[in-house]
Structures are given as structure tokens and as C-alpha cells.
Amino acid sequence: MARSGIRYEDVQEAAETLLGRGLNPTIQRVREVLGTGSNTTISEHLKQWQQRLAESPKAVLPPTVPETVMTALKPFWKIAVQQAEAAFEEQRAVATQAVTVAEQTRDAAVASQQQTQATADDLSRQLDAATLSARQLADRLLVEQERRAAAETAIAAAEQRARAAIEATAQIRVETEARIAQMEAVLQQLRADMTNQQTQAQQRIDEAQQRAETNETRLLHLFDQDRAEHATERQAFATERQEWKNREAGWRIQLETQRRENIDTRAARAIAEERLRVRDTELRQVRAALTIAESRYGDMARATDALRNELRTALDAQNRLRQTFEMSHQAPAGPKIPPESE
């Protein structure tokens, strides 16, 4: 069933729900919680709720709390009180709604009972039907009584939750006061530590000033002594500088002589390098000719070996022919005697 309109109480409940979640109640968030409603209506109710919240009594912290601690804890205290008040209002609204439902149920039951009684009087001639109707009415009355008992139980539970919310608020207040006392002790300890540190810093500053004065006197004495030594060193430096100038003049003469000798040496070196390049070219040519000669000598040696082998073969053939010829002329005419084997 569609809702006829958004009431102020609906917007208030949605805003307090969002605030309890730690969210800022905006028009869009309130509309998301409600699930319906126009932005104009929600905006008007939300402005009215914010104005009432601003005009509500503010939480006052104990007067003994320091200004800085009070400023830091005021938002937490306000949020805690708002959450407790919101929880209390929510439980009270639930209890009120439960009482209203119970009263409506009771009125309905009374009206139903009267109607049943009238019907029983009118239908007294129809006993069976009246008895049946009476039984039905008795059952309905029993159901209504059970509903009334449930409503009373809901009211008791709502009252118990309200008492629990009040106790939680008191507990939050006690814890807040304990935290304030703890922070005051910490602040006192910080003040004592700061005073001690300032005293130690002042002592270190005094000691540093005393050391600076002592060092200044010693530095002035060293400065006078260094000034006298510096005058002596300046005279010695002037003498040494003149000697170095004389040496520099001699070195320049020697450098000029050496430069000329280097020029002559470079010229002689260039001539020697040119001759060395010519000798190197000739040496490469000789090495090439030697390589060709070695190759030709190898060919000639191989040809000589071949001729020597051919000559040995020819000599061996000649010796065999000579032996054969001599044997054929020296053998007697008679039976042939085979030669002795060697």
C-alpha cells in the first residue's frame, strides 16, 4: 500500500538513525532510509529537525575541565548524549506504539464483545447457532486476551530497554568524567616535564655562554699570536718568492733551449721514420722474393729427387745388363752349371 505522505516523525527517526550510524543526515540519505517521499517535504522536515536540535539544551562539561580539553571533548560528549537520547526516544516511540496497538486491540475486543452479546440476544431462539457463535466469540476473546498479554509484555520490554538506555547514558557520563580526570593528570605531567625541560635548557644556555666567553678570550690571544707569526711568514714568503722568480727565469731559458732541441729532434725523427719506411718496404720486397725463391728451390729439390730416382733405376738396369752380358761371355761350352746362389 502506498504511503499518503511523509510526516515529521518519519524524517526525525530516519535522521537520528543516520546520525547513530555516524553519517550526516542529508535529503538523499533520509529518502533512501524512508524509501519514499519528495525532496521538498523531506527538506522542510529536515530543516525543522535541525532547528529543534540546535535549540535543544547543550551538554555542559564540569567547570574544572581545562579550556583545551573541554574544546576537544565537547563533540564526543555531544555525540554520546545525542546517541543516548536517540536510543531513549526510539525505545519510548516503540513503547508508545505498542501501547497504542494494545489499546486499539482492547477497544476492538470490547466492541466485538458487545456486538456478540447483541447478536446472542437477538438470536436466542436459535440456540444451536447462538452457542456456536458464542464459542467462536469466546475463541476470539481468548485470542484478544493473548494479544493484550503480548502487548503488555512488549510494553514491559520497552520500559526495560528505556531503563537500559538510561543506565548506558549514566555509564557514558561516568566514563567521560574518568577520561577527563585522566587527561587532566596527563596535562599536569606534561606541564611538569615542560618546566623541567625549560630549566635544563636554560642551564645549557648559560653553560654555552660561559664556554663561548672563554673560547673568545682564547681565540683573541691566538689571533694576536697568529698575526705576529703571519708577519714573519710574509717576509720569508717574499724572499722565497724572489728566489722562485729567479729559478723560473732560468727554467724558461732551459725550456726554450729544450724546445729548440725538440724541434731538431722531431725533424731528425721524421727523416729516420721516412728511412725506416723505405727500409721496411725493401724488407717486404726481399721477403717476397725469398718466399718465391724458397718455392722454386722446393720445386727444384723435388725434381732433383725424381731425377735421382730415375738415375738409380737406370743404373740398376745397366748393372743387371752388364752382369748378364759378362756371364754369357765367360761360361764354357759344355753342360751349364747353375751359378751358386749368393
**Domain-located, residue 12:** yes
CA distance 110 to 228: 126
**Domain-located, residue 190:** no
Rounded mean pLDDT, 127-146 = 79
At residue 66, the pLDDT reads: 54
At residue 179, the pLDDT reads: 81
Most confident range (mean pLDDT) of 105-114, 160-169, 184-193, 305-314 is 305-314
**Domain-located, residue 49:** yes
**Domain-located, residue 242:** no
Residue pLDDT, tens place only, 172-182: 888 878 887 88
Tally the domains of the chain. 1
Q: Is the model's pLDDT at 44 over the cut of 70?
A: yes
**Domain-located, residue 79:** no
Written as one string, the DSSP assignment of 153-181 is HHHHHHHHHHHHHHHHHHHHHHHHHHHHH
Task: Write the secondary structure of 301-316 as one string of H (helix), E (strand) and C (coil).
Answer: HHHHHHHHHHHHHHHH
Rounded mean pLDDT, 68-96 = 63
Share of the chain above pLDDT 90, in %: 12
At residue 62, the pLDDT reads: 47
At residue 8, the pLDDT reads: 93
Q: Are 76 and 173 in contact (CB under 8 A)?
A: no
* Cα 333 versus chain centre, distance: 132
**Domain-located, residue 133:** no
Residue pLDDT, tens place only, 264-302: 878 888 997 898 889 889 888 978 988 997 888 788 889
Query: pLDDT-derived band of residue 2, with 50, 70 and 90 as boundaries?
Result: very low
Neighbours of 42 (CB within 10 A): 24
CA distance 190 to 39: 52
At residue 337, the pLDDT reads: 46
Lowest mean pLDDT among 90-99, 105-114, 217-226, 306-315: 90-99
Query: pLDDT-derived band of residue 59, with 50, 70 and 90 as boundaries?
Result: very low
At residue 71, the pLDDT reads: 67
Q: Which domain holds residue 23?
A: 1-56
**Domain-located, residue 26:** yes
The whole model's pTM is what? 0.22
**Domain-located, residue 8:** yes
